[in-house]
Amino acid sequence: MKKKNIQVILLLSSCVLIWGSSFILMKNILLVYSPMQVGALRLFFASCVLLPLAISYLLRNNYKKYPILHMIISGLCGSMIPAFLFPLAQTQISSSTSGALNSLTPLFTLLLGTLFFQIKISFTRLLGVLIGLIGAFSILLLGEVESGKNYNLGFGIFAILATLLYAINVNFVNKYLLHISSLELASISLSFSLIPTTMYLLYSDFLDLTYCHPLAGRAILSAFILGVLGTALASFLFYNLLRLSSPVFASSVTYLIPVVALAWGIYYGEWINIYQIVGSLLILVGVWLVNK
């Protein structure tokens, strides 16, 4: 097997394991903090780790080398806004369902690439997009209802919107930012979130909850892992994957994310039914057709 292929497989597997585990981590943090605080904590820890690298790059190189506006847009679409959307969705839908919906990313990547980034689409790919969308809505409309829990299915739209932003970022990076190294892109684009997230946490009831809630220590540890591994490291790995492959293939990291999310959901006793399994399979069939 070629060295490049081995690198791609390792990058893909790492992203799958890290991002597939992020949904159950968010569930743990939501036991203590609000969805906005979950997103802010995730970005705070990620930016703390990446800020020294960002400063080093900006001081070492002429800052004019970097298309700062493009990098901020990438950071917003690829990490910052989804960091708030997924916890918000998980206040009303299960972590396994949220992970399943995340696999819509390659379908949106193809649609947006076709409409705005000159990616060609065939009938097979279009069929894959439609099948994937049917799978996603079957999870929402049938799977969660059958679970017997009082879910607000409308909150699934927040997870779907996050995957749309991921797809925008994949196409955007592929067109405008491939000349920037993966570590430079990840560190600079995410470091801008440090000041606003810090201010928000300080002016919210975050400190009071941390001091009083018995599960705060576990939640903070989960947020640290989510920020450092699920955002900072995963962003670096994903940009490397995008550099070595193609936009649609790189976004297909979400093929196996539902499997990992589903496994964590089963481990923590979440209700899994046939509609969720069939819906997830339909999404995977759709994504397979997109890349066929």
pLDDT (tens digit per residue) in 190-214: 988 999 999 999 999 999 999 999 9
- Bigger pLDDT: 91 vs 255: 91
**Mean pLDDT value of segment 149-168:** 79
Question: What average pLDDT is seen over the chain?
Answer: 81
What pLDDT score does 65 carry? 74
Q: Residue 26: pLDDT band by 50, 70, 90 thresholds?
A: confident
pLDDT of residue 149: 53
Highest mean pLDDT among 175-189, 212-226, 244-258: 212-226
Pair 107, 132: CB distance under 8 Å: yes
- Say how far apart CA 160 and CA 146 lie, in whole Å: 20
Report, as an integer, the average pLDDT of 87-101.
77
CB burial of 1-40 (b: ≥16 within 10 Å; e: otherwise) equals eeeeeeebeebbebbbebbbbbbbbbbbbbebbbbbbbbb
* pLDDT (tens digit per residue) in 271-285: 667 777 777 788 778
0.85 exceeded by the pTM?
no
**Angle at the Cα of 91 from the Cα atoms of 87 and 96, rounded to 5 degrees:** 75
For the chain, how long is the longest CA-to-CA vector? 58
| Amino acid 143: pLDDT | 58
Alpha-carbon distances, residue 71 vs 98, 103, 263 (angstroms): 27, 24, 34
CA distances from 234 to 46, 226, 229, 238 (A): 10, 10, 6, 6
